[in-house]
Amino acid sequence: MPRPKANNGGGGPMSVNLDKAQNSKATIKRILSYLQGHKKTLFLVLLFIILYVICNIVSSIMLMPIIDDYIVPMFENPEDSSLKIAFIKILFAYITIVICTSLFSYLQSKLMIKASQTAVADMRKDLFSRIEKLPIHYFDTNATGELMSRIVNDIDNVSIALNTSVNQIISGVLMAASTLLTMLVISPTLALISILTLPVMLVVVQKIAKINKKQFIKSQESLAEVNSYIEEYVSGQKVIKAFNKENDVKANFKNKNENLRREGFLAQAVAGIVMPAMGSISNISTAITAIVSGILAIQGKISIGTIAVYTRFSKEFSRPINEITNQFNVIQAGIAGAERCFQIIDEEPEFPDNIGKPDLTNVKGNVEIKNVSFGYEEGKPVLKNINIEAKPGEMIAIVGPTGAGKTTIINLLTRFYDINQGEILIDGKNIKEISKESLREVLGIVLQDTVMFNETVRENIRFGKLDATEEEIVEAAKLANADSFIKRLPHGYDTILSDDAGNISKGQAQLLNIARVILNNPQILVLDEATSNVDTRMEVKIQQAMNKLLEGRTSFVIAHRLSTIRNADKIIVVNDGQIKEQGTHEELIKKRGIYYTMYTGIFEEAG
């Protein structure tokens, strides 16, 4: 079963971008840049890590005198009470240091989590802010589920990596270095054994990392595809059930889910090789150390305490490396997730040329579309040399068959897309030469598909003017013929709308949308088939609300119903990306051309 495509108003393509692996070092550096604002916290983290390492080294070294100077002598002189008292004192000191080791470990972990959570929150804010600035065509060409996967899953992977991996790496490096230095001081011969195993460990980690990085990116892409599929088909349940395609959808999902399982398994399986490999190398090193130290002890060159300490140091030397590799899959998932997030953050924002351009003010509503040509893809024109003029207060209706380019005209007027050739003027000013914020402030848009947020009815209307008073909200609702049905809702204006406004009808949602636009009080209106998909009774209410909205405003109306366009000042007939006819309803009927055919066919039935 094919996946539904995004409606681009005349030809925008729908695709999902698959990500390629980027430079891991650059990605890690960029992730860490989000921690730069937490230098004091990171200083404390580093301080507690150093104290943790020192306490760990000291506690290990203390085993040597505990064994050589107290335990062995106590076995040789069991009646010596002063020796027992001294042993209890050094044992108490040892336990105190062990407790301090745990305390410093807890403090550095807690502070690192605090800093990393703030850093991740900043990254999530940057990601969402960039999404808000991306052009419409980005959303037309990328699946919603794919974007959601990056905002949620990929950011979570970065969060987990920062929470656990940064302090593990720092403490691991310091622990390995200090342990090795101590081992060299105690016994250079035994230290050589551990030194020789280090390159082997590093080579194993490097080889597996190279393979696993690519596999984790594939796993993330598969997860994004599954999320996208779920988002699309959960929202499209009515269509699926209407066409009895449940089994097809389940079969497609099974394939995608199986692909995710396979890619995820491979990613985790490759990462899972690291720990056994490191453990084997570490155990071999420890075994060799134990054998050599035993031989040296028999020869009288080292003591029993030295053997115990060195065996522990051998483990302590490999343990940090093992801990880092234990976080291997977390680090790889975090890097892969960060790369995918940074790809969005690095996308060009909408109309970067707006900076410093003047605002559109004192708008009268004269709109001119001059010699405009446009295509969503190069070499595939959707509009060809379009010329339309709307004088202040005029209603311009745009009609034509599906795919003719009607919605594309609106996309260009609102600068959702920029024209390839020609120009669009408002009161003689080219819309490319004014800031898009001021352009959209003077435009009121009522689309076929209404968007309601999971907020109260009041807040959904207030979206048109965030500082609106209660009186202004109610007045806008009354003008939109929405006040009466709002009062019948369970909690009136305080009723919370469910996802996609499922607890009210499409027509009621459209009335709320009109109320929102009325509250915004725009000078120019754009109505894109605003009365479609509603019954005749609700259409009348919507039409009455729109008539109030249209009063004194320049308006562009895309319509497929007679009631919306019959009284238009000018009707533009678009077909195959060109204007074929234009005039009033009566003039076009007399011509007995395309509009006449539509009126006596499609529109007559709709009327």
What local confidence, expressed as pLDDT, does residue 370 receive? Answer: 92
Mean pLDDT of 102-112: 90
Query: What is the token pair recorded at 62?
Result: 């203390």
Which residues, 6+ apart, have CB-to-CB distance to 259 below 8 Å? 222, 225
Mean pLDDT of 210-238: 73
Do the bridges between strand 383-390 and strand 367-374 make them parallel or antiparallel, or are there none, so unpaired? antiparallel
pLDDT digits (tens, 9 = 90+) for 82-97: 888 888 888 899 899 9
Query: What is the token pair recorded at 154?
Result: 């990929």
In DSSP notation, 205-246 reads HHHHHHHHHHHHHHHHHHHHHHHHHHHHHHHTHHHHHHTT-H
- Report the alpha-carbon distance of residue 3 to residue 171 in Å, rounded: 49
What local confidence, expressed as pLDDT, does residue 107 receive? Answer: 92
Q: Cβ(431)–Cβ(354) under 8 Å?
A: no
Give the residue among 215, 218, 217 at the shortest CA–CA distance from 273: 215
User: How is domain 367-606 classified at the CATH fold level?
Assistant: Rossmann fold (3.40.50)
Mean pLDDT of 229-244: 69
- Among 123-127, 161-165, 265-269, 491-495, the minimum mean pLDDT is found in 265-269
pLDDT digits (tens, 9 = 90+) for 320-375: 766 776 676 678 778 888 888 898 888 888 765 556 677 888 888 899 999 999 98
pLDDT band of residue 74 (cuts 50, 70, 90) is: confident
CA distance to 200, 204, 291, 306, 314, per residue, from 285 (Å): 11, 15, 10, 17, 7
Length of the chain: 607
Sheet holding 421-426, edge to edge: 383-390, 367-374, 421-426, 429-430
Q: Which helix (H) or strand (E) holds 528?
A: strand 524-528
Q: Which long-range contacts (CB under 8 A, 24 or more apart) does 298-301 make?
A: none
Q: Is 279 helix (H, G, I), strand (E, B) or coil?
A: helix
Would you say the C-alpha torsion 301, 306, 312, 318 has a positive or negative sign? negative
- Report the alpha-carbon distance of residue 556 to residue 365 in Å, rounded: 11
- Among 223-227, 309-313, 495-499, the minimum mean pLDDT is found in 309-313
Do the bridges between strand 395-399 and strand 554-558 make them parallel or antiparallel, or are there none, so unpaired? parallel
CA distance to 347, 488, 533, per residue, from 343 (Å): 6, 47, 38
Residue 462, phi then psi, degrees to nearest 5? -60, -15
pLDDT of 531 > 70? The answer is no
- Report the alpha-carbon distance of residue 113 to residue 351 in Å, rounded: 38
CA distance to 5, 51, 236, 239, 366, per residue, from 247 (Å): 20, 61, 14, 13, 54
Residue 443, phi then psi, degrees to nearest 5? -105, 135
Helices 246-272 and 274-298, packing angle to 10 deg: 20
What local confidence, expressed as pLDDT, does residue 213 receive? Answer: 65
Query: What is the token pair recorded at 590?
Result: 């007399």
What local confidence, expressed as pLDDT, does residue 532 receive? Answer: 61
Class of domain 25-345: mainly alpha
pLDDT of 537 > 80? The answer is no
Report the percentage of the chain scoring pLDDT > 90. 8
pLDDT of 538 > 70? The answer is no
Q: Cβ(98)–Cβ(59) under 8 Å?
A: yes
What local confidence, expressed as pLDDT, does residue 423 receive? Answer: 92
Residue 236, phi then psi, degrees to nearest 5? -105, 30
Which residues, 6+ apart, have CB-to-CB distance to 169 below 8 Å? 324
pLDDT digits (tens, 9 = 90+) for 386-444: 999 999 988 898 988 877 888 888 888 888 888 888 999 999 898 888 888 888 888 88
Q: Is 561 helix (H, G, I), strand (E, B) or coil?
A: coil
The residue type of 511 is L
- Report the alpha-carbon distance of residue 310 to residue 287 in Å, rounded: 12
- Among 155-164, 195-204, 221-230, the minimum mean pLDDT is found in 195-204
pLDDT digits (tens, 9 = 90+) for 139-157: 888 877 778 878 888 888 8
Q: Cβ(452)–Cβ(508) under 8 Å?
A: no
pLDDT digits (tens, 9 = 90+) for 171-191: 888 887 888 788 777 777 777
Give the residue among 346, 433, 563, 392 at the shortest CA–CA distance from 424: 433
What local confidence, expressed as pLDDT, does residue 2 receive? Answer: 37
Higher pLDDT, 213 or 117: 117
- Report the alpha-carbon distance of residue 589 to residue 571 in Å, rounded: 11
pLDDT band of residue 13 (cuts 50, 70, 90) is: very low
pLDDT band of residue 309 (cuts 50, 70, 90) is: confident
pLDDT of 263 > 60? The answer is yes
pLDDT digits (tens, 9 = 90+) for 563-591: 567 788 899 999 888 999 999 888 988 98
Mean pLDDT of 591-599: 85
Query: What is the token pair recorded at 423?
Result: 């120009």
- Among 6-20, 293-307, 477-491, the minimum mean pLDDT is found in 6-20
For the chain, domain boundaries: 25-345, 367-606
- Report the alpha-carbon distance of residue 529 to residue 363 in Å, rounded: 25
Q: Cβ(318)–Cβ(274) under 8 Å?
A: no
Question: In which residue are the tokens 């529109």 written?
Answer: 603
Mean pLDDT of 502-529: 84
With b meaning 16 or more CB within 10 Å and e meaning fewer, what string describes 228-254?
bbebbbeeeeeebeeeebeeebeebee
Q: How far apart are the first and last CA of the chain?
A: 35
Higher pLDDT, 478 or 449: 478
pLDDT band of residue 22 (cuts 50, 70, 90) is: low
Rounded to two decimals, the pTM is: 0.66
Higher pLDDT, 423 or 240: 423
What local confidence, expressed as pLDDT, does residue 501 receive? Answer: 65
pLDDT of 101 > 60? The answer is yes
Which residues, 6+ apart, have CB-to-CB distance to 7 below 8 Å? 407
Give the residue among 576, 581, 528 at the shortest CA–CA distance from 401: 576
Q: Where are the beta strands (DSSP E) in 551-595?
A: 554-558, 570-575, 578-583
Q: Where are the beta strands (DSSP E) in 352-458?
A: 367-374, 383-390, 395-399, 421-426, 429-430, 443-446
Residue 332, phi then psi, degrees to nearest 5? -65, -45
- Report the alpha-carbon distance of residue 595 to residue 598 in Å, rounded: 5
Q: Cβ(212)–Cβ(266) under 8 Å?
A: no
- Report the alpha-carbon distance of residue 523 to residue 455 in Å, rounded: 27
